[in-house]
Amino acid sequence: MSRIGKAPITLPQGVEINVSKSNLVTVKGPKGELTQQIDQDLILEVEDGVLEIKRPTEQQRHRAAHGLYRSLIYNMVVGVSEGFKKELELVGVGYRTSNTGNLLEINVGYSHPIYFYVPDEVSVETKMEKGKNPMITLESIDKQLLGQVAAKIRAFRKPEPYKGKGIKYTDEILRRKAGKTAAK
């Protein structure tokens, strides 16, 4: 049996979960509401603030869906109760960023600034301090959307392996290469 799939999900205080007949799961919490369509075959049981997901058979399809949907529901519960946060750092001379609402303006060494509209479900904040690299902070209750937006921003200028210039996650460890050595 799936180790992830069989782990129960404890619902924090203030989080409600509702499962419809068509296995549409709705999670409501202090930060918002998320919905996810779950595989029709899986059985969801909620009792005493604990959610368990069970599969009907040991078929490959059911085993694959078991752990997947348990993780998706767990991420929804954490999202509506605590939320998710990603921080990106712009490393490079002259790299700048600013935002007006959800419109993000990024200058990362191209001949033009990049304008990127962040979806309304994600809040964006930029910070530029003297002597430190510019930072972009993204927050959302939807982990999947947050990761997708952060990856898209990072793709505008991926960090290069020699000097580390580019847009990187703050907790990312870059694999650095040695440059060319001078000829003797």
Instruction: Specify the pLDDT at position 82.
Output: 93
Instruction: Specify the pLDDT at position 125.
Output: 95
Beta carbons of 55 and 41 less than 8 angstroms apart:
yes
The pLDDT > 70 percentage for the chain reads 97
Given a cut of 90, whether residue 33 has pLDDT beyond it is: yes
Instruction: State the fold for domain 84-169.
Output: Outer Surface Protein A; domain 3 (3.90.930)
Instruction: Provide the residue ranges of all domains of the chain, joining segments of one domain with +.
Output: 3-81, 84-169
The secondary element (H helix, E strand) that includes residue 63 is helix 60-81
Instruction: Specify the pLDDT at position 179.
Output: 84
Q: What does pTM read for this prediction?
A: 0.89
Whether 3-81 and 84-169 share one fold: the answer is: yes
Please name the residues in contact with 86: beta carbons below 8 A apart, sequence gap of 6 or more: 137, 138, 146, 147, 150, 169
Beta carbons of 102 and 119 less than 8 angstroms apart:
yes
The pLDDT > 90 percentage for the chain reads 68
CATH number of 3-81: 3.90.930.12
Instruction: Specify the pLDDT at position 98.
Output: 94
Given a cut of 70, whether residue 117 has pLDDT beyond it is: yes
